[in-house]
Amino acid sequence: GSQKHFIVQTSLTPNARSDERILQLFRAMNQMFDKHKESRRRHIGIHTPIIIPVWSQVRMVEDDLMYSTFLEVYESHCGRNGREPDLPITYFKEKLNQAISGQISPESISDLRLQAYGEITKNIVSDGIFTQYMYKTTMSGNHLWAFKKQFAVQLAVSNFMSFILQIGGRSPNKILFSKNSGKMLQTDFHPAYDSNGMVELNEPVPFRLTRNIEGLFSHFGVEGPLMSNMCSASQAVFSSKQKEHIRYQLAMFFRDELLSWFGRRPLGVPIPPVAGIATLSSAE
């Protein structure tokens, strides 16, 4: 037989139920991917781990012993080179001390931030950290090629879901990937809402595609498998046959999300106006 590993999570936050609702939506979308020719040919599907609720504050979540995060990759690189992981943050703060003390004009702050970012990417955080890590951890060239192919599918569909649901905050510690299969799992993957119950996103790009990820795929991998997989996922979900289906799935998802959000509101906070019902239309 096969072994299945689970981790036991206790003291769950109110957002734990959002994780279960988003997985239900993912399973419904996987069925849409299976019904579309191009997405089925590319084996496009969202990784949906098993979650078993034990009681209100305890649940079991399927785990993979080969899971790793982008943050662990970066920390491994820093440990190998004897460098402090927080060095980019402290360096950025030192560069912006002039702006905090008011020594430069507000118009020059953007240029100073961009200059500090350029120096960090050039001298501290290179674009080959992720590539070096995968070359050192994969067993052979065939394994690395299979990982890149599957990881491109997982990253494309995750970025697509981040875009249509307007989910941000994709920091390196929230993205897990399996080193032997290329499957991806994102934690805290659910929309954020403002005081009126509207989907809130303050990021110009609602997904993560950094220099290190592009360095692993190369320019041809980004323009080839990654882009084609995202387009195929979009065609499968928003085709004429599935358009109404995804609308109903989003309606049920956001209904439960907003009911949960409304129940977590502090006492005494006024009820938002009826215009908040437009949340579904904004997400679509």
pLDDT for res 269:
65
Closest by CA position to 170, among listed 161, 179, 178: 161
* Sign (positive or negative) of CA dihedral 54, 56, 68, 75: negative
Q: What angle do CA 166, 258, 33 make, to 5 degrees?
A: 50
pLDDT for res 277:
44
DSSP strand pairing (192-193 vs 5-10): unpaired
**Residues of the chain whose pLDDT is less than 70?**
266-284
β-pair partners for 192: 200
* Sign (positive or negative) of CA dihedral 159, 164, 167, 168: positive
Closest by CA position to 61, among listed 106, 16, 113: 16
**Sequence-ordered alpha helix ranges (H) in 81-210:** 87-95, 97-100, 109-123, 129-137, 141-165
pLDDT for res 282:
42
pLDDT for res 27:
94
C-alpha to C-alpha distance for 264 and 195, rounded to whole angstroms? 12
The pTM assigned to this predicted structure is 0.85
pLDDT for res 273:
61
What amino acid is encoded at 29 in this protein? M
Convert the pLDDT of each residue in 170-226 to its tens digit: 888 999 999 999 999 998 898 888 888 888 888 888 888 999 999 999 999 999 999
pLDDT for res 270:
66
Domain ranges of the chain: 5-67+128-283, 84-123
